[in-house]
Amino acid sequence: DERGGIMELLGVASDRGAPLLVGSLLVAVAIFILMLLRPDGRHGRLPPSPMALPFIGHLHLIRPPPHRAFDRIIARHGPLVYLRLGPSAHCVIIGSAGVAHDVLKFEGSIPERPLTAVTRHLAYDSVGFAFAPYGPHWRFMKRLCMSELLGPRTIEQLRPVRAAELAGVLRVATAASAKGETLDMSRQLIRMSNNAIMRMVATDLPGDMADAARDCAKQVAELVGAFNLEDYVPLCRGWDLQGLGRRTRGVHAKFDALLETMIKNKGKERREVADKANAKDLLDILMDAAADPTAEVKLTRDSIKAFVLDIFTAGSDTTATTVEWMMAELLNHPHCLQKLRTELDAVVGRSRLVGEPDVAQMPYLQAVLKETLRLRPPAVFAQREAMQPIHVRGYTIPVKTSVFFNIFTIGRDATWWEEPLEFRPERFMPGGAGEDVDPKGQHLQLMPFGSGRRACPGMGLAMQAVPAFLAALVQCFDWEVPNPPLDMEDEAGLVSARKQPLVLLPMQRLHPLPLP
């Protein structure tokens, strides 16, 4: 009959549509799960977001290096984008100075850096400075940094340490020039900057300890910059599927043993030499603070070790990387190199070596540094964590959301910079668009050191030492690229270094070399 025919027809349709029905049901379940995992916007809209996949969210979009993946996402979806990394890790990425300015109005709501599985272990459970939670301990360490550890007086007092390490590189380059041999400048610069930082920390550090510290710091940078499943997929926690936990424990143990030796040697030295007032290094200042009975915060041994680890890993690779990128950009732009040489000859001459005090009198040198920091920031993004909801530009950034300021993208924002991908130091000279732009965090279109309360406390040292290192290399030598053109690709990692070593042929320009 008619009813039976209809039921038969429905049955046939059901059989034929079974795979479609099952697929639709799975999609509906996946969407329901995603809605549950998507953070509560607190009655506000979340920022725009790419299409997410079940379970992994947007992890498939984050191909290394992550700052370039962020850059591609921002180019497509706008300067404020929401991402879900794994089942339950939520973040927003910021890719313009305007949005950064609007978000930093609520800086009190994003006062902390999120701890990863690796950084928690390496940072002695956040008792140092870089990853310490915002509170009395962090504020005390910040004041200590700005007034003592990285203040102008200490930077000036330890200038001979940096000068001695630079002189070592110049001697190696002189020997290579005499033999007509190429020089791996990447290797020389990282050795120089690491040694300089370690000897600023502990002046009388033996050479073998400096070498061991350099190896540990390299591994720390690799581990902190590595993608770790445990941070994004809760089911992976405790399994150490990538072996990062084992590597982290091994590096931490080596660094801890090294730091213990440094502290013991320093303690013995301080007992034997009572008056250190005129020759204090960073470890002296930290141990003085720990021994001060009136200090508002009592520094522990772990606090001292964590801070030394912070300053070493933050200050060594970044210095070398910036000098290296400056050299590479100048070699790719010979007219800029010639302008810098002309300024060097006019301000310093050829009878003495350029030094840190000369930097203030050399505007083009400073422009070269700023342009390099704009195009090639050593720290390509700054990360915070929202402790309160933030309502910005009609969207809501929920609690417990990681906030990435993609410094790499912000520095290339065409809203602020004409021909943003071109290396043009002149933009920072009088009459240029960046004439009054300062890279210390007040002008967010150029924020290589971050901005606000979590800005890098070592920016004063960097702005003084880095251009002086570069200027001495340019003053004393001509540099030739053996196999042009230079490969300008960057590699993935905590610090955006060159992917290929910078191998150059030095040719001595000044005879004799004006070493101090």
Binding residues: 456
Q: Dihedral sign for Cα 305, 308, 314, 319, please.
A: negative
Number of helices (H) and strands (E), helices first, in the chain? 16, 9
Alpha carbons 231 and 123: distance in angstroms, whole number: 16
Q: Tell me what pLDDT residue 276 has.
A: 53
pLDDT digits (tens, 9 = 90+) for 59-84: 999 888 889 999 999 999 999 999 99
Q: Confidence band (pLDDT; 50, 70, 90) for 278?
A: low
Cβ atoms of 365 and 467 within 8 Å: the answer is yes
Q: Is the pLDDT of residue 17 over 60?
A: no
Alpha carbons 197 and 165: distance in angstroms, whole number: 10
> Would you tell me how many other CB atoms lie within 10 Å of the CB of residue 115?
18
Binding residues for heme: 456
DSSP letters for 188-250: HHHHHHHHHHHHHHSTT--HHHHHHHHHHHHHHHHHHHS--GGGT-GGGTTT-TTSHHHHHHH
Dihedral angle over CA of 318, 323, 329, 333, nearest 10: 160
pLDDT digits (tens, 9 = 90+) for 296-333: 889 999 999 999 888 887 777 889 999 999 999 999 99
Q: Which residues of 345-380 are buried (b: 16+ CB within 10 A; e: fewer)?
A: eebbeeeebbbbebbeebbbbbbbbbbbbbbbbbbb
Alpha carbons 489 and 60: distance in angstroms, whole number: 22
pLDDT digits (tens, 9 = 90+) for 125-142: 888 888 888 899 999 999
Of 475 and 36, which is predicted with more confidence? 475
Q: Is the pLDDT of residue 27 over 80?
A: no
Exposure on the CB side of residue 152, measured as CA atoms within 13 A: 1
Q: Confidence band (pLDDT; 50, 70, 90) for 7?
A: very low
- Cβ neighbourhood burial of 47 (10 Å; 0-12, 13-18, 19+): buried
Q: Is the pLDDT of residue 148 over 80?
A: yes
Q: Tell me what pLDDT residue 37 has.
A: 46
Alpha carbons 215 and 224: distance in angstroms, whole number: 15
pLDDT digits (tens, 9 = 90+) for 462-476: 999 999 999 999 999
Cβ atoms of 515 and 353 within 8 Å: the answer is yes
Q: Tell me what pLDDT residue 329 has.
A: 98
Q: Is the pLDDT of residue 42 over 70?
A: no
Average pLDDT over residues 262-274: 84
Q: How far is CA 66 from the centre of its chain?
A: 12
- Cβ neighbourhood burial of 333 (10 Å; 0-12, 13-18, 19+): middle
Alpha carbons 194 and 154: distance in angstroms, whole number: 18
Average pLDDT over residues 418-440: 95
Q: Confidence band (pLDDT; 50, 70, 90) for 279?
A: low
Alpha carbons 433 and 456: distance in angstroms, whole number: 25
Domains assigned to the chain:
59-508 (1.10.630.10)
Strands 89-94 and 402-405: parallel
Q: Which residues of 276-290 are buried (b: 16+ CB within 10 A; e: fewer)?
A: eeeebbbbbbbbbbb
Average pLDDT over residues 32-57: 71
% of the chain beyond a pLDDT of 70: 90
Q: Is the pTM higher than 0.85? A: yes
3-state helix, strand, coil in the chain (%, to 5): 55, 10, 35
> Would you tell me how many other CB atoms lie within 10 Å of the CB of residue 440?
17
Q: Tell me what pLDDT residue 217 has.
A: 79
Q: Which residues have C-beta within 8 Å of that of residue 383, sequence separation ≥ 6?
A: 113, 114, 402, 403, 404, 405
Alpha carbons 34 and 478: distance in angstroms, whole number: 59
Average pLDDT over residues 367-377: 97
Q: Tell me what pLDDT residue 269 has.
A: 86
Q: Tell me what pLDDT residue 275 has.
A: 59
Strands 382-385 and 402-405: antiparallel
Q: Confidence band (pLDDT; 50, 70, 90) for 29?
A: very low
Alpha carbons 359 and 347: distance in angstroms, whole number: 10
Q: Confidence band (pLDDT; 50, 70, 90) for 12?
A: very low
Chain mean pLDDT for the chain: 87
Q: Tell me what pLDDT residue 468 has.
A: 97
Q: Report the candidate in 216, 233, 211 with the shortest Cα–Cα distance to residue 122.
A: 216
Mean pLDDT lowest among 331-335, 408-412, 455-459: 455-459
Q: Which residue has the tokens 């810098």?
A: 340
Exposure on the CB side of residue 366, measured as CA atoms within 13 A: 20
% of the chain beyond a pLDDT of 90: 61
Q: Is the pLDDT of residue 354 over 50?
A: yes
Amino acid at 170: L
Task: Look at the chain and count its residues.
Answer: 516
Q: Tell me what pLDDT residue 25 has.
A: 46
Average pLDDT over residues 377-391: 93
